[in-house]
Structure 1
C-alpha cells in the first residue's frame, strides 16, 4: 500500500476500475446493515387537490410558492439515494468521492424551485416554543394559516412521540365536498401545506408535524423567505443521522435530492423539475440497483461530473462573512454547519483550500434551552452579514487545495468500508501494487 501511495503522491493518476459483484437477493439490505426506509407519504389525494386548481390558480400558486408542485410527478430513485448516502461525511457536511466533493447548495435548490437568479436573504428563524404546544395552541396556528372553520380541523389533529400534527388526507376528505366555503387563497395555502408536509418535508408521523406547520406559518407571513436554506439544512441533518446510525428514514426532500444527484452525473441534462419528471416517465433515466450505483460512485472522476448544473443560471452565491469559515443553517428541527468553501467548483469558481476550524460547532437540535435560543439568534445575525460573491466562470483548483486534499483524504473514513466493495478494492489494489512493483524492478 505504501508503494501505491508514493506513486499517487508523485502525481501519477491511478485509474482504479473496480469489479464489484452484485448483491445476492438474500443480501439486498446490505451486509453492513446500512438501510434507508423508503415509505413515502400517500399523495394520491394531494395530486387530486392540485389537479382541481384552474390553470390561472396554478400560475398564482407557482408565483407564490415556487414550482414545488412539480415534485409530485417525480418518481423517487431510492437506490441512488441509498448509495449516495454512504458517501456522506458527517464532520464535513458534504459528499466525498475519490477525486472531489459535492454538496446540495442553497443556490441550486433555490433556482431549481423558483427558476430565477435572484435569491432572497430572508432567513427562517424557528420559535422553540412551537415544539411544546398543546392541542388548542396548535389548532389555533393551523386556523390562522388556513382560516378554516373549526369543524374541518376537529378530529384531524393527532399526537405522536410528543409532537402534534395534522392529518392532511383526513382534512381533504372533509373539504372536497364543500369547497365553496373556502376562499381561493385558503385553498392554495392548503395545497402548498400538503406538498411541504407530505412530499418535501415528510415526518415520521402519518401527518404533517407542528414543525412543518410552524415553518409554513412564517412562509405565509413572509413570501420572501428563502426555503432553500431549510431544505438543505434538513437534507444534511438527515444524511448526518442516517450515516451515524446506519439506518433511518429519509425525512427531507427526497424528490429534490434525487434530481440533484442525477443532474450532477454527466448523462442527465435537465433544467427544471418538470423536465426530470418527463424523462422518468419516458424511461430515459437509467435505472440501477444500489450496488451498481456504489460501483459508479467509486469510479467517478472529474470528467464524469457536471460541476454547474443546467438550471443554475446565476453566478452569484452566498459566502460566509469574515471570521466565519462555517455558518449555521437552520432547518425545521435543528441546525447544521454549512459553507460553500469546500465546493466552489459547483459555482464555476476557484477551489482553494478550505478552513475547517469550527466545522462542527454549529449543529444543534431546537429546544427551549437558553443556549439554543442564543444560537438561533446568532445564526440569524451571521446570515445578515453573509457576502454575495460573483464567480469567475472558470473552474480552477489551486495547488494548495490538491496538496491539502491528498493528506486530508488519508485521515477521513469514506465508504470504502462497505464489505462487498471493500473486498473488491483490496483485491484490486493488491493486483495493481504487484503490477507497479514488477514494472519498477524491470
Structure 2
C-alpha cells in the first residue's frame, strides 16, 4: 500500500503498567449470573473493566495523536476526545449533577469509610496504614476480608468490598498493592466518572512530549478507543499484515464508528459555571476538556469549525494544592451548562466540509506522527452532484452508514454466538468426561 511521505511530528514511547489482577479476578468470579444484576445496579459495569485485556499497541498509537492545546486526539480529518457521557455509558454509571471529588479530606473519617466498606470502625482503624505519600488500606487485607464475606454468603457486604477493591486497583491506581484514601473517598461519593475522565486527560497531558508511564484507568481508555474503530471489514482483516499505525492512518472520518448508533445521549454537559468548557479535578491534578470538540462522537452535527473562543481557557496545572482554584471549580460544578438535543441539533454524524477543512488546517500546524496511508475502504464522493439536492445526499450517506453499522453489529453478534457455542461445547465435553471417569471408578 503506497504511503505519502511528508514532515512528521515527534513520537514518544509510553509505558502502560498494570498490577497483577489474578486475585481480584478470582474474587470477581464469585459474582455469578444470578448476582450480577444486583452488583451492576449498585456499582455499574466495573467488572467488565476488571476483565478487560489491555493491548498496549493501540494505546501507544492513540497517544501519538494527542493535541495538547485542544485536549483531544487530532487525526487526518477528524478529532476524538473522551467525554463524560461516553465514559458514563461504557461504565453504566450515571454522572451525578453535583460537585464531584475535589480533594482528599484533611481528616480521616473512619466511620464513613467503615460504613462504605461494611466493616467495623475498629477493623478499618487498625489496618489503616501509610504507603509512600498516601494512606489507605493494604490490598492483602481487603482481599482477605472480602473472601471471608463471600465464603459466608454475605453478598451485599462482599459486593461493596469488591467494588472498593476495583476502585483502588483498576479505576484509580496509586501505589502497588494498596487502596489509597483518594480511591476510597471517590467510592464513598458514588460519582466516579468526572474523576476518571480527569485522570485520563491529566495522565496523557502531563506526559505529552515526554513519554513514560501513563497512570490512569487504562481499561476504560482502551474500551473507549476500541469502541470507535471499525469492528469488521478491511480494518480488522488487515491486522495480520499491517501495523497498528498503518491501519489507523488509513482511517478517515467516514470509517469511524460514531457513537450515536450505540448510545442515546439526550443531555450533554457543555460547560460549568463561568468556565466555557468543563474543568475536571483528578486524583493528581486539574485539567479542562472541551465537549464542543466531541459533539460528533455523540451524534450531533458538526457542520462548522469549533471556534477558538469556544475552546476557552485552560485550568491545567501540575498539583492540586491551590485551594482558590479548587473552590472555583467546586462552585462551577454547582452550575452546570447542560444542553439537550433540541438545542444541539439533529443527530447527524456526517462531517461537513468546513469542519474537515478546519481539522486539516490544524493538522498542517501539528503534523501527523506517521505517513498517511490510502483508505482501506471506498470513500463517499467529495463533491455533491448538481442533480442531487444536498439534503437527499446527506440522507443517503446516513442510510449507508446505518446499514454498514447494522452489518457490523450483526457480525459481532454472530461472532459472540459462535464463541458461546464453542464454550458450551467445551463445558459439555468436560462434564461428559467427568461422568465417564466417575462411571469407571464405580465399576
Q: State the Cα deviation string for residues 161-209 of structure 1 (Å, max 9, x = none).
A: 3111322233212553465779543321111111122122222443122
Matched, 1:363 2:316: yes
Instruction: Decide whether the 8 Å contact of 2:61 with 2:244 is kept in 1.
Output: yes
Q: CA RMSD in A?
A: 3.5
Instruction: Decide whether the 8 Å contact of 1:142 with 1:213 is kept in 2.
Output: yes
Which residue of 157, 164, 172 maps to 1:201?
A: 172
Report the equivalent of 2:339.
387
Q: CA 1:68/1:409 → structure 2, altered by over 3 Å: closer, same or farther? A: same
Q: CA 1:372/1:143 → structure 2, altered by over 3 Å: closer, same or farther? A: same
Q: Report the Cα offset of residue 95 of structure 1.
A: 0.5
Distance 2:249 2:204 in 1: 19
Report the equivalent of 1:377.
330
Instruction: Decide whether the 8 Å contact of 2:301 with 2:348 is kept in 1.
Output: yes
- SS state at 1:393 partner: coil
Distance 1:399 1:178 in 2: 59
Q: State the Cα deviation string for residues 238-279 of structure 1 (Å, max 9, x = none).
A: 111221422123x2221122222122112359xxxxxxxxxx
Ranked by relative contact order (alpha carbons within 8 Å, sequence separation 6 or more), the top structure is 1
Q: Report the Cα offset of residue 127 of structure 1.
A: 4.5
Q: Report the Cα offset of residue 80 of structure 1.
A: 0.6
Q: Report the Cα offset of residue 78 of structure 1.
A: 0.8
Q: CA 1:128/1:329 → structure 2, altered by over 3 Å: closer, same or farther? A: closer
Number of aligned residues:
365
Q: Report the Cα offset of residue 315 of structure 1.
A: 4.8
Structure 1 residue ranges without an equivalent (≥5): 1-14, 21-31, 220-224, 270-283, 429-442
User: Under a length normalisation based on structure 2, what TM-score does the superposition of the two structures give?
Assistant: 0.71
Structure 2 residue ranges without an equivalent (≥5): 375-443
Instruction: Decide whether the 8 Å contact of 1:50 with 1:191 is kept in 2.
Output: yes
Which residue of 139, 161, 171 maps to 1:190?
A: 161
Which residue of 136, 139, 147 maps to 1:168?
A: 139
Distance 1:253 1:285 in 2: 29
Report the equivalent of 1:433.
none
Instruction: Decide whether the 8 Å contact of 1:308 with 1:346 is kept in 2.
Output: yes
Which residue of 90, 101, 122 maps to 2:97?
A: 122
Q: CA 1:182/1:176 → structure 2, altered by over 3 Å: closer, same or farther? A: same
Matched, 1:295 2:260: no
Which residue of 306, 314, 325 maps to 2:276?
A: 325
Q: Which 10-residue stretch deviates more, 180-189 or 70-79?
A: 180-189
- SS state at 2:308 partner: coil
Report the equivalent of 2:255.
304
Instruction: Decide whether the 8 Å contact of 1:329 with 1:379 is kept in 2.
Output: no
Matched, 1:254 2:218: yes
User: Under a length normalisation based on structure 1, what TM-score does the superposition of the two structures give?
Assistant: 0.71
- SS state at 1:91 partner: coil
Q: Which 10-residue stretch deviates more, 51-60 or 207-216?
A: 51-60
